[in-house]
C-alpha cells in the first residue's frame, strides 16, 4: 500500500473504483480467461464481482492479481441485489437490457431512493420492456422482441448512464450513436478502444457497433483511484511540513477537477511521470503543504469533473482565505446522501460558515474551526472529508464507531491518512 522515503511519503493506492466496475463487466461480456491487477477490494466493487460470480463468472485472487474465467457466464431469470452501489445498478440495467434477459435489479433502501429515470426512459425508447417503482429500484426487465439500436442525445452529463447505454448497444444488432453531453468520465470507451472493440469516439459523438464477435483476453493493471487520492491531497496540503507523492494514479481529464481547483486556490501540486496505460492517462501526484490558499469560484461546467470530490473541496475551502463559490451543485442532492445538506451541516457544526443560495454552495473560509462529531449520513465521501477536517484540528476525531461507510470505496482510509498526519 505505501512506503516511506527519506524526502517524502510515497503512497500506492488500490485501483480506481469506476474503472474496476467497467472492467469486471467487460470480462463477463468477452468470454475467456482474463487477469486484473490492482483491483480495489472495496464494498462497491466486490458487490459487482459477487453478482457476476453468481451467474457463472469464476475467479481467484493471487496477491494483488485476480484471474477471471467468464466462459460459463449466463444471466437467466436473474434477481440481482446491488446493495448500495449505484454504479453497479445503472450499468447492469443497461447491460442486462441489451442481453435481453428476464431480470430484477434491486438495492438497499438508500439506493432505492436514487433516480433511475435517466436510464429507464431511454431504454424504453429503444424497445426494452422495463418496469420500475416510480422510476426507482426495484427495476424489472422482461424479454422483448423490439430491441433496436439507437441514435440518442444525452441531456444529463452522467457517466453511469453513458456507460449503461454503451453496454446495451454492445449487445444488440446494429450501430448505435450517442451524442450530446458525452464529455464525462470515459473509462469504458477508453477500455474498449484500447482492446480494439469497434467503437468510434469523437468530441461529442460515440458510435458503437453491437453484437460483433469479439474475443480478446483482458490483461490490465488498474491505476490508483483519483477520488481516493483527493483525500490524501487535501490532508497533505493542510498539514504543515507535509510532502506526499501518490504513485500511478488515474489522471483522466474528466476526473481531475479537484486537482485543478486546488491549484487555482494556490495548492502546490505537480503531476510527474505522465504516461498512457490501457488508454488511460496515469501519473504521480506530488503534493506539498500549502499555507496560503485562497477562495475561488467553480463554474457549473466543471462540476462533472469533480462530482465526487465536492465534499473534500469544501473542506479545503474552509481553510482558504475568502469565499469559495461552487456553482451547479444540484446533482449532489441525489448521491449516496444529499451531499449539499451534509456538507453544510458538518461545516456549520465545526463553527464554519456554509450555505446554499439557489444552486450555488458558498463557503466562507479561514474561520476558526473546532472538533465536532462527524455526521456522515452513511455517505463514505462525507465521512472521509470531515474526518480530515477534524483530524487537522486534533488527533481525537469524534464519530460513531459503528460508522464504516468509508468501506464503500476506501477500506484502508484511516490507516493511510494517519500516515499523512504523522
- Going through 238-373 in order, the beta strands assigned E by DSSP cover 243-250, 268-277, 280-288, 297-298, 323-327, 353-357, 360-364
Cβ contact 89:162 at 8 Å: no
Q: Supply 200's cell numbers.
A: 468510434
Largest pairwise CA distance in the chain: 64
CA distance 37 to 163: 22
Look up 412 and say whether it is catalytic. no
> How many residues are recorded in the chain?
422
CA distance 57 to 69: 6
Q: Give pairs for 272-281: CB < 8 Å, separation 24+.
A: 272/245, 277/221, 277/223, 278/190, 278/191, 278/194, 278/220, 278/221, 279/190, 279/191, 279/193, 279/194, 280/19, 280/187, 280/190, 280/223, 280/250, 280/252, 281/250, 281/251, 281/252, 281/253
SS3 content of the chain, % helix, strand, coil (to 5): 35, 25, 40
Question: By C-alpha distance, which of 56, 65, 17, 61 is closest to 218?
Answer: 65
Is beta strand 65-69 parallel, antiparallel or unpaired with respect to 33-37? antiparallel
Residue ranges of alpha helices (H) inside 325-408 are 339-349, 380-393
- Residue from 16, 44, 308, 379 carrying the catalytic annotation: 308
Cβ-based neighbour number of residue 213 at 10 Å: 4
Cis peptide upstream of residue 389 (ω within 30 degrees of 0): no
Would you please indicate which residues are annotated as catalytic (active-site) residues? 308
Amino acid at each position: 500500500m505505501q512506503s516511506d522515503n527519506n524526502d517524502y511519503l510515497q503512497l500506492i493506492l488500490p485501483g480506481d473504483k469506476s474503472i474496476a466496475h467497467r472492467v469486471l463487466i467487460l470480462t463477463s461480456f468477452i468470454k475467456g480467461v482474463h487477469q486484473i491487477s490492482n483491483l480495489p477490494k472495496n464494498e462497491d466493487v466486490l458487490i459487482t464481482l459477487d453478482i457476476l460470480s453468481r451467474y457463472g463468472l469464476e475467479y481467484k485472487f493471487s496477491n494483488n492479481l485476480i484471474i477471471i474465467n467468464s466462459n460459463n457466464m449466463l444471466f437467466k431469470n436473474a434477481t440481482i441485489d446491488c446493495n448500495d452501489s449505484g454504479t453497479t445498478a445503472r450499468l447492469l440495467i443497461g447491460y442486462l437490457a441489451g442481453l435481453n434477459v428476464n431480470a430484477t435489479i434491486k438495492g438497499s433502501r438508500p439506493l432505492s431512493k436514487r433516480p433511475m429515470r435517466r436510464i429507464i426512459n431511454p431504454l424504453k425508447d429503444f424497445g426494452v420492456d422495463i418496469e420500475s417503482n416510480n422510476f426507482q429500484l426495484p427495476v424489472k426487465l422482461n424479454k422483448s422482441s423490439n430491441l433496436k439500436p439507437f441514435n440518442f442525445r444525452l441531456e444529463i452529463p452522467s457517466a453511469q448512464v453513458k456507460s449503461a447505454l454503451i453496454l446495451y448497444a454492445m449487445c444488440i444488432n446494429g450501430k448505435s450513436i450517442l451524442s450530446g453531453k458525452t464529455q464525462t468520465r470515459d473509462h469504458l470507451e477508453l477500455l474498449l478502444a484500447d482492446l480494439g472493440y469497434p467503437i468510434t469516439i469523437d468530441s461529442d459523438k460515440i458510435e458503437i457497433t453491437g453484437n460483433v464477435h469479439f474475443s480478446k483476453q483482458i490483461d490490465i493493471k488498474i491505476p490508483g483511484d483519483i477520488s481516493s487520492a483527493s483525500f490524501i491531497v487535501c490532508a497533505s496540503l493542510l498539514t504543515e511540513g507535509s510532502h506526499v507523492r501518490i504513485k500511478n494514479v488515474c489522471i483522466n481529464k474528466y476526473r481531475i477537477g479537484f486537482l485543478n481547483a486546488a491549484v487555482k486556490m494556490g495548492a502546490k501540486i505537480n503531476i510527474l511521470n505522465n504516461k498512457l496505460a490501457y488508454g488511460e492517462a496515469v501519473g504521480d501526484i506530488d503534493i506539498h503543504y500549502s499555507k496560503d490558499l485562497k477562495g475561488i469560484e467553480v463554474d457549473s461546467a466543471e462540476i462533472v469533473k469533480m462530482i465526487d470530490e465536492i465534499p473534500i473541496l469544501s473542506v479545503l475551502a474552509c481553510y482558504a482565505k475568502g469565499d469559495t463559490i461552487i456553482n451547479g451543485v444540484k446533482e449532489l442532492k441525489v448521491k449516496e446522501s444529499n451531499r449539499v445538506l451534509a456538507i453544510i451541516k458538518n461545516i456549520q457544526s465545526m463553527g464554519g460558515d456554509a450555505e446554499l443560495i439557489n444552486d450555488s454552495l458558498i463557503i466562507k473560509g479561514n474561520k476558526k474551526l473546532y472538533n465536532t462529531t462527524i455526521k456522515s449520513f452513511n455517505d463514505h465521501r462525507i465521512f472521509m472529508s470531515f474526518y480530515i477536517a477534524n483530524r487537522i484540528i486534533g488527533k481525537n476525531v469524534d464519530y460513531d464507531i459503528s460508522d464504516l461507510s468509508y468501506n464503500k470505496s476506501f477500506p484502508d482510509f484511516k490507516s493511510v491518512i494517519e500516515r499523512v498526519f504523522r
